[in-house]
Each structure stands twice: as structure tokens, then as C-alpha cells.
């Protein structure tokens, strides 16, 4: 087992990893930007080092600076969390070249599955159903020709996409040219890769993802599914597990398909395969996330499996201690992403100093956050300031518990979206579980 790990991230996920390491007796090294000198992860780690100015490109994405600190501190491994460098195969490869274990998927797997077009082809070869569409389109003329074959409406997607960027909906041929150029420009700016492919837009679908763990011995364990269909602009808002729409037989199919896909990809570590589920019960591979997900606590709450500790053990060469037959899901969990933004003002990001802060508590209530009273939220990073997670024996009880926790939460000093979550949890389509990915886009304010 490792004796010292560097966390190449910030915010709540850095704190989550630090806590897991402390419980495992592992020393931690934090890195931070000049804007994060007063961040909580800086004070919780055993050692902390500034690696650059506020912009992420000059700090949290600065591979040279991170690896320099890692060598200086003598760490055996680096945990990238999610976002930032977590799915960067170059960083994983550079860690390996430096003799430092990258706590995540192997670089070659990240390249294969991070390339959305290649991932689709890999899944097709494995017999996994994929959303109807086409491979990469090199020109607008190619896109027009392929679109006629696919049919409208459709989605233009970036090969290197993530976080909802590089995606455009096209309802008809008159919209295609503008959407194609816009998606390519955004993808080039966000990922340095403007390559695009297209998929049929499946309407009224559920976004279902399956959590998996894979060790270096070839063992694969699926830890149930999460329903991530409550989304705004392709960004998840609320996640829950298990999914109301997934029957026992469908769960078995998803588990077997996910395990097959993971083996085909040669996967190692914690990962997630995302599917679109249609109203008639058909599911299609959408993408694979070769990292820890923001919503991983939902799975932890219903299975009792610590995913961060599992990642660390797998990276150190230890085999999984559980098998598929050991997985038991007897609770229901819900997660609300709490963002510093103003839903009443087009979700404008909010910054400021935290005044009164009251975190809800009670049995099976968890708030993963980096907030503390007096902390000033910087304007340079993602607006998510915490994740509120609850679990209960039944979904009905979990909804009530989340409603109570949201009512109890107090965060003064910035605008946030807790009231929006409370409103959504009270709506009939959430209560009966019938909401789909297009619900928020069509919802009347």
C-alpha cells in the first residue's frame, strides 16, 4: 500500500480523497493555486504546495508543476479526482514514466474510451448496442450527407467531449451548418480537438449509468445503476440510485453488458458506463467515463462500498475483495448538486464570502463540500460548492429526507440553488420517477 499520495485537484473532491487517505493511514500532499491559499483542502492535507496562478491552465492543469512537487515530496501515487487531469492520458503516461502510480485508468484505455468515436466502435465490436449515428465527419458536406441517413432531430458531438461541451441539437437541415461550426469551435477551444460525429437524438429517454470496479486480475464488479436524467444543458442536477425505471431483469442485462464492455476495453480502476434508456426498455451505450464520477456518493450510500478507497487499493495492485454476488442494494439514495448560482437570473454564477453556514445532519445525511464560515468562493472555477446526499430504506423516505435536509441547509453570502432542488423534489414527475433528460429544458418556470 502507498504511504504518501498527492491529490491533483481542489474543492470537495480533494477533501474527499484526503479523508479516505487519512482513514487508510496514508499521508497526503495537496497542491493549490494562488486563489486557493485559504481553501480547506490546503489545511487538511499533511503537506501543501502552491503550483501557480489562479487560472487552472497555469496551476491545476500544469503537469510539470504537479510532477515536480510529486517528486520533491516522494509520493508513490497521484489521485486526480474528477475533471481537470483525471481523464488526460498524457498525464497518466507521464506519471508512469516518473515512476509514480496514476490512480485511474491506464493511459491507453483513456485514449481509446476518451475518444468518443473510437469508444463507439469498440463497443460495437463487443456487441454492445450504441446510439444510431455515424463515425467522424470531416467536413460540413460530409455532415449534411450523413445527417440525411441518420434523420432529424440529431446531435452533433465532439470526439473529445465532456461536461456537456461540444454538443449541439439539430432539428433540421437548415440548422446544421451553424450547429456544426459552433460545436467544432467550442470543442477546439475546450479540448484542443474540433473533430465531430453525429448521433440520432433519442427523445424522452432516461440517462442511466452503471458504476464498475475492475482490478488488475481481470475481476469486474458492477455496483448498480444511477438515474442521472434530471439535467440542465447536458449537466446533471440530481442523481439517484437505484433507478425506478430499471426492473430486475433490465438490471441484470445492464450489469452483464457493462462487465462485457469493461473487459473489452481492458479497463482497470473505477469507471462508469453511461446509457440512454428508451421508453420501450431498449438501452444504448453513450460513453464511458474513465474516472471517479461527481455522483459516486450515491452508489457508496446504497452499497456500502467506498469507491475512493477501492481506487487506491486497485492502483496499489490489490485485488477486489468483493464479487458480483456480494453486491447488495437495500437502500435508496439521492444526490443534489448545490451550486453557487442564481436560478432566477439565468443561473448566473455567484461568488462571495460565506457568512452563516449550517450543514444538515442526521442519520444517512452527507454533505460533501469545501465550504466553511468566512471562506471566499473564488470566481475562477466550477460553480459547484457541495453535494447533498441522503439515503433511506425506500425512495419515498429518501425524497422526504432530502426535502428535510434542503430545508435545514443555510448558506449565506452567495446565491445558490437549494430552493430549486426543493421545488424539483416536490414535482409529480420526480415523485413518480417519470422525468426524462428533456424535462428541465421544457419545464415552465
Identical fold between 4-103 and 132-200: no
Phi-psi region of 198 (alpha: psi -120 to 50; beta: other; left: phi over 0): beta
Backbone angles phi, psi at 234, to 5 degrees: 65, 10
CATH number of 206-442: 3.30.470.20
Residue by residue, DSSP assigns 291-332 as S--TTHHHHHHHH---HHHHHHHHHTTPPPS--GGG----SE
Ordered per-residue pLDDT tens for the chain, 445 residues: 999 999 999 999 999 999 999 999 999 999 999 999 999 999 999 999 999 999 999 999 999 999 999 999 999 999 999 999 999 999 999 999 999 999 999 999 999 888 888 888 889 888 899 999 998 999 999 999 999 999 999 999 998 876 678 999 999 999 999 999 999 999 998 888 899 999 999 999 999 999 999 999 999 999 999 999 999 988 999 999 999 999 999 999 999 999 999 998 899 999 999 999 999 999 999 889 999 999 999 999 999 999 999 999 999 999 999 999 999 998 999 999 999 999 999 999 999 999 999 999 999 999 999 999 999 999 999 999 999 999 999 999 999 999 999 999 999 999 999 999 999 999 999 999 999 999 999 887 5
The model carries a pTM of 0.92
**C-alpha to C-alpha distance for 383 and 361, rounded to whole angstroms:** 23
Task: Work out whether the CA dihedral 420, 424, 427, 429 comes out positive or negative.
Answer: positive
32-49 pLDDT, tens digit each: 999 999 999 999 999 999
Which cell numbers in the block locate residue 153? 432531430
Assess contact for 224 and 300: CB atoms under 8 A.
no
341-400 pLDDT, tens digit each: 999 999 999 999 999 999 999 999 999 999 999 999 999 999 999 999 999 999 999 999
Residue by residue, DSSP assigns 92-157 as HHHHHHTT-EESSS-HHHHHHHHSHHHHHHHHHHTT--B-SEEEEE-SHHHHHHHHHHH-SSEEEE
In which residue are the cell numbers 455496483 written?
A: 223
- The answer as to CATH 3.30.2350.10 being correct for domain 4-103 is no
Could you give the residue numbers annotated as active site? 291
327-344 pLDDT, tens digit each: 999 899 999 999 999 999
Residue 441 DSSP SS3: helix
Classify domain 132-200 by CATH architecture.
Answer: 2-Layer Sandwich (3.30)
Assess contact for 137 and 157: CB atoms under 8 A.
no
Residue 230 DSSP SS3: strand
Assess contact for 241 and 302: CB atoms under 8 A.
yes
Q: What are the boundaries of each domain within the chain?
A: 4-103, 132-200, 206-442
Amino acid at each position: 500500500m502507498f504511504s504518501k499520495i498527492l491529490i491533483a485537484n481542489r474543492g470537495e473532491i480533494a477533501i474527499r480523497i484526503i479523508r479516505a487517505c487519512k482513514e487508510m493511514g496514508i499521508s497526503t500532499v495537496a497542491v493549490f493555486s494562488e486563489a486557493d491559499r485559504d481553501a480547506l483542502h490546503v489545511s487538511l492535507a499533511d503537506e501543501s504546495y502552491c503550483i501557480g496562478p489562479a487560472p487552472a491552465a497555469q496551476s491545476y492543469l500544469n503537469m510539470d508543476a504537479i510532477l515536480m512537487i510529486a517528486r520533491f515530496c516522494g509520493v508513490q501515487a497521484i489521485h486526480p479526482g474528477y475533471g481537470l487531469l483525471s481523464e488526460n492520458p498524457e498525464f497518466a503516461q507521464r506519471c508512469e514514466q516518473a515512476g509514480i502510480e496514476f490512480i485511474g485508468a491506464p493511459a491507453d484505455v483513456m485514449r481509446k474510451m476518451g475518444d468518443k468515436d473510437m469508444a463507439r466502435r469498440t463497443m460495437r465490436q463487443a456487441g454492445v448496442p450504441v446510439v444510431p449515428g455515424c463515425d467522424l465527419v470531416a467536413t460540413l458536406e460530409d455532415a449534411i450527407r450523413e445527417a440525411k441517413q441518420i434523420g432529424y432531430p440529431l446531435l452533433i458531438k465532439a470526439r473529445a467531449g465532456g461536461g456537456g461541451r461540444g454538443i449541439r441539437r439539430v432539428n433540421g437541415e437548415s440548422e446544421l451548418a451553424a450547429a456544426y461550426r459552433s460545436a467544432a469551435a467550442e470543442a477546439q477551444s475546450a479540448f484542443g480537438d474540433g473533430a465531430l460525429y453525429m448521433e440520432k437524438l433519442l427523445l424522452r429517454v432516461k440517462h442511466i449509468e452503471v458504476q464498475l470496479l475492475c482490478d488488475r486480475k481481470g475481476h469486474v464488479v458492477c455496483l448498480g445503476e444511477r438515474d442521472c436524467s434530471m439535467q440542465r444543458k447536458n449537466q446533471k442536477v440530481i442523481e439517484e440510485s437505484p433507478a425506478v425505471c430499471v426492473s430486475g431483469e433490465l438490471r441484470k442485462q445492464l450489469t452483464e453488458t457493462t462487465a462485457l464492455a469493461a473487459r473489452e476495453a481492458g479497463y482497470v480502476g473505477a469507471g462508469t458506463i453511461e446509457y440512454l434508456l428508451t421508453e420501450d426498455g431498449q438501452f444504448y451505450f453513450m460513453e464511458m467515463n474513465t474516472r471517479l464520477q461527481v455522483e459516486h456518493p450515491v452508489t457508496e450510500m446504497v452499497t456500502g462500498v467506498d469507491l475512493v478507497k477501492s481506487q487506491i487499493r486497485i492502483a496499489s495492485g490489490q485485488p477486489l475483495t468483493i464479487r458480483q454476488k456480494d453486491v447488495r442494494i437495500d437502500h435508496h439514495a439521492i444526490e443534489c448538486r448545490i451550486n453557487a448560482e442564481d436560478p432566477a437570473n439565468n443561473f448566473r454564477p455567484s461568488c462571495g464570502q460565506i457568512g452563516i453556514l449550517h450543514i444538515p445532519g442526521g442519520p444517512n445525511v452527507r454533505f460533501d463540500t469545501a465550504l466553511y464560515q468566512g471562506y471566499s468562493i473564488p470566481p475562477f472555477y466550477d460553480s459547484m460548492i457541495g453535494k447533498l446526499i441522503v439515503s433511506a430504506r425506500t425512495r419515498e423516505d429518501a425524497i422526504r429526507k432530502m426535502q428535510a435536509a434542503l430545508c435545514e441547509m443555510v448558506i449565506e453570502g452567495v446565491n445558490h440553488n437549494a430552493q430549486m432542488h426543493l421545488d424539483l423534489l416536490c414535482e409529480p414527475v420526480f415523485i413518480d420517477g417519470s422525468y426524462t433528460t428533456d424535462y428541465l429544458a421544457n419545464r415552465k418556470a
